[in-house]
Chain A
């Protein structure tokens, strides 16, 4: 049995895994124990540092998801001087924790080494503990708050989650960023007038390390560390513990003790707040690689590898209703286009995406010049799509789309086109705002993606005719504050009775035809554009690089999944007809309805949802003879 000791905040030694004090004494007398103590395995950072009378650094446990940016020169006002990290997670859930290292001296190489988390029910393997360093770099002046461009000002903000912090070099004096591309660093914070050519993120050799590399500490410059535990799905409920061992320039520097409480339930797929039988669809724009890869002449094998990496990253972040390029528009070679659709469907399936319903990113419900002259061509295209889908996945339950943010003329065209697609069982999703689409064409829109922040009255309008509603641009991606996405992708949309999250977008993509002319560089936030880079991740030839905002997105949908769980167990409890479980459930539902998620502390709110779920479950157990 592994032994784990921790230094509590009060300075008392505690024994973690149920070892009796006698056993502990025996162990403590062994040479092995002494050797381990000497090596620092059992010591907290503070303890180790005090022993040598050289406190190299302090560690502050901080909420991973927070609206407070963790900056090198700011002490975490909401942090606790502690070497203990606690995570409460459901079975199968990804859950983050974080700490800030405040160096008292320079350390050239600080190594952070996770260990398996041990509990009475077994262990969570070390591979389930992912540690990243949070990279702060310069972004536009509004970066922490907005997706609007503000190239005239530079703010240091935390954003990237890296294994190797040297992937990006930051010049604090000049306020510039440099990206390691192969063996050289390239300037990625240049102004538009210095742009020379576009940056091909699909081929340029940009690669984060596969494993966490040692980090450098500079006295007085705080550094945030991000820990994500992926609880294996079959992990029994209980407490699991294990240290993250620290080595400073090769010398033991204590440990950060990680504790995970695994809850006695797994999270369900998200359902809507207003009806727990209806799926809450989680979708994002700009998740396709294949199309741009083809334009840039990437070998198919590489394109497929990257597309799968994109899909898997999306699914791991709860985006399971992946909007794909399932369309036959703009493609003169129909047979090839149909084959492309099949190919993409297979990749989606291979990655584990939800295959029903499907969502198309392409403008299927529109007419090309040729089709406008010969309507049968349009009808034939719709027939081909429906047939291909049925052959490949056994259904044609798909939401197709049309002109983006259409004006009146296009709305009227849509109405004509929808008559045929609807007759073939295809549904339509459309970007909309201010009810103009509802008033003119609501009857043929199955899924309205409403621009702006979610409000219940918008949902009520669309639900009145049986349509679904989601929203985008409230706000777009690009904001670095992770709580923006935790709130707006999560409980804010959910409680406003929306049917899903459908935001713009996963990352700024290369334009299919204008990327060279525009000299696009997804890594550069200072190109003077009206909007910042819309990056929840940064695309590379080795897969996407995550950001703290992207983790906020995942937590937002996880909040919806917890709320879904609460509503599901409440429904079960009410169905028992027994007073105690029924009243406990209804109290929980009252609480959920009354809570103001827009001003609540979301970390506290999550724990309260857990408490309500456990209370209902307990009431049902006690009510069972």
Chain B
């Protein structure tokens, strides 16, 4: 009975926590096999033509809070606001498929022609127009990511709030961001491949914390937000990833395993070249520790056959190796650390 009560309490607590959070905005991210890539493709796509996919419930960024952002020494924002400035609509669309997560932002800008004309001036506020995109791939105990892109300065900054390790990778090496002017504004395309966040592949009913903040200094229109202020993850909205079908889930996992396998092969090849080098490497470490592990991993991978043919039988076997394949450079470091530590405890250096 106590267990039942405890379970009930946990369930109620969890639902009550989420009830508060669920009062925020939520966007349904659905699986779509063929996703347009880039601003041009998105702006002309059926996805954008269908109003059901459009989310435009942005609210004004608190002006006083925006002025305080000058205290942020890591990012320069221009939150200039003239109360007479016309409102600009900001909308976004988002889908996912087996390759990754896609975001497309379409922003109305009545001064677009003028803005483009002024972009050539390095001091023009047109170059300070910007989007801050925040997301956390989950609700608790997960990292959060910040992208700041300035569509007319051709500049995107990725802020590493985590430190690279086995379970955290910078967006810099993975994300793709593109901005282009449109007839009545501009469009921004963001793609995050699953390779960057493969621990968080949509499996069931995942919710990600998410917000976009748009800064519009050119039109002196201040800022708008889809949820909360900068870094304010507790007030962000949510992306709800619609559960993939079994086939879609398999497609995602299969692709990720294939990526892991080829990444492993490339890392292993480079590692062998270095560690087995008679002048620069450490052949004792290579032969006694690293090579046996690589031989084993390679044999296990090769035994599964051609990656394109991996199936329901072979996929679980590959899945067991995914993390070490994907993060083989960290695996090598761990092996090397163990090797050196053992060596130091065997004899006095």
Instruction: Using CB atoms and an 8 Å cutoff, list the residues of chain A in contact with chain B.
Output: 66-69, 71, 74, 78, 86, 88, 141-142, 144-146, 148-153, 155, 173, 237-239, 259, 261, 263-264, 405, 431, 433-434, 451-453, 472-476, 479, 481, 483-484, 487, 530-531, 587, 590, 598-601, 603-605, 607-608, 610-611, 614
List residues 306-346 of chain B with CB under 8 A from any CB of chain A.
329-330, 333-334, 336-337, 340-341, 344-345
State A424–B315 Cα separation when bound (angstroms): 74
B305 interface residue (CB < 8 Å to A): no
Interchain Cβ contacts under 8 Å between A and B, 19 examples: A67-B163, A67-B165, A67-B168, A71-B141, A86-B341, A88-B341, A142-B231, A148-B231, A150-B233, A150-B234, A263-B349, A431-B73, A451-B74, A452-B74, A453-B74, A481-B163, A483-B165, A587-B279, A614-B349
State A598–B165 Cα separation when bound (angstroms): 9
Please tell me which one of the listed residues A67, A78, A149, A433 contacts residue B73 in the complex, with CB atoms under 8 A apart.
Answer: A433
Q: Which 8 pairs between the two chains have the least Cβ-Cβ distance?
A: A152-B234, A148-B231, A153-B234, A451-B73, A604-B333, A473-B73, A601-B333, A145-B161
Please tell me which one of the listed residues B170, B231, B235, B337 contacts residue A604 in the complex, with CB atoms under 8 A apart.
Answer: B337
Could you say which residues of chain B place their CB within 8 Å of the CB of A238?
A: 348
CB distance from A16 to the nearest CB of B (A): 11
Chain B interface SS verdict (over half): loop
Could you say which residues of chain B place their CB within 8 Å of the CB of A264?
A: 348-349
Could you say which residues of chain B place their CB within 8 Å of the CB of A142?
A: 144, 161, 231, 233
Chain B positions 160 through 175: 1 when the CB is less than 8 Å from some CB of chain A, otherwise 0: 1111111110100000
Could you say which residues of chain B place their CB within 8 Å of the CB of A587?
A: 279-280
Please name 15 further chain A to chain B contacts, defined as beta carbons within 8 Å, in addition to the given A431-B73, A530-B68, A601-B330, sorted by A numbering. A74-B141, A78-B166, A141-B233, A146-B231, A151-B234, A152-B234, A237-B348, A451-B73, A452-B73, A453-B160, A481-B163, A587-B280, A598-B164, A600-B333, A604-B337
Nearest A residue to B348 via CB reads A238
Q: Are B140 and A155 in contact (CB under 8 A)?
A: yes
Could you say which residues of chain A place their CB within 8 Å of the CB of B117?
A: none
Q: Are A145 and B143 in contact (CB under 8 A)?
A: yes
B107 interface residue (CB < 8 Å to A): no
B205 interface residue (CB < 8 Å to A): no
Tell me how many residues of B have a C-beta within 8 Å of chain A.
Answer: 42
CB distance from B163 to the nearest CB of A (A): 5
B287 interface residue (CB < 8 Å to A): no
Most chain A beta carbons < 10 A, residue from B164, B228, B235: B164
Could you say which residues of chain A place their CB within 8 Å of the CB of B349?
A: 237, 261, 263-264, 614
Could you say which residues of chain A place their CB within 8 Å of the CB of B348?
A: 237-239, 264
State A501–B25 Cα separation when bound (angstroms): 41
Q: Are B164 and A599 in contact (CB under 8 A)?
A: yes
Q: Are A607 and B165 in contact (CB under 8 A)?
A: no
CB distance from B337 to the nearest CB of A (A): 4
Q: Are A607 and B141 in contact (CB under 8 A)?
A: no
State A67–B349 Cα separation when bound (angstroms): 30
Could you say which residues of chain A place their CB within 8 Å of the CB of B183?
A: none
Q: Are A86 and B280 in contact (CB under 8 A)?
A: no
State A146–B163 Cα separation when bound (angstroms): 11
Could you say which residues of chain B place their CB within 8 Å of the CB of A611?
A: 340
Q: Are A145 and B144 in contact (CB under 8 A)?
A: yes
State A484–B166 Cα separation when bound (angstroms): 15
CB distance from A349 to the nearest CB of B (A): 33
Could you say which residues of chain B place their CB within 8 Å of the CB of A239?
A: 345, 348
A145-B143, A587-B280 in contact; A152/B345 too (CB < 8 A)?
Answer: no
List residues 217-274 of chain B with CB under 8 A from any CB of chain A.
228, 230-235
Q: Are A146 and B161 in contact (CB under 8 A)?
A: yes
Could you say which residues of chain B place their CB within 8 Å of the CB of A151?
A: 234
Could you say which residues of chain A place their CB within 8 Å of the CB of B74?
A: 451-453, 473-475
State A71–B320 Cα separation when bound (angstroms): 24
Q: Are A601 and B334 in contact (CB under 8 A)?
A: yes
